[in-house]
Structure 1
């Protein structure tokens, strides 16, 4: 399974209405995180799980879902997390 597929799979626990995931790793070739194997990604996610939560709480939900991927496969993750009403 690719890293992108694994990220999508793990984020499915948040029952997202929409996920857009972009791999920007090629833009960071030579960067320390890229050399160690971690990728750079942009995430745009819409989920009712974010209702009533501030930005930090939303990011925590995402980091918790991704678990150990944040220490190895993912070096950098830019997050846009919105509720369906904010979409």
Structure 2
């Protein structure tokens, strides 16, 4: 299983995902002196589980779902989290 599938599976244990998009930006960082081999990811998540949930709580839920991946494999993670209604407004 690749990193994208692993991440989606872990998130799906906590959220019913309507939309899931992940971008691996690690390649932009491999020449940095401080590069430690960890993944640099950007994710967009849409779930009604985020409805009426403050942004900080959403991000904490994502970090909880990813668990040890955050500590061991992911060096940097940017995320956008939307409820279905918020997502429709973005499109």
TM-score (norm: length of structure 1) = 0.91
Instruction: Quote how far apart the aligned CAs of 1:30 are.
Output: 3.3
Corresponding position of 2:19: 18
Q: As a proportion of its length, which structure holds more helix? A: 1
Q: RMSD value over aligned CA atoms?
A: 1.0
Q: What does 1:1-87 align with in structure 2 at a 5 Å threshold?
A: 1-13=1-13, 14-31=15-32, 32=34, 34-35=35-36, 37-87=37-87
In 2, distance between residues paired with 1:30 and 1:11?
30
Contact kept in structure 2, 1:21 and 1:43, CA below 8 Å:
yes
Moved over 2 A (4+): none
Task: State the Cα deviation string for residues 37-56 of structure 1 (Å, max 9, x = none).
Answer: 31000000000111111110
Gaps of 5+ in 1: none
In 1, distance between residues paired with 2:52 and 2:80?
16
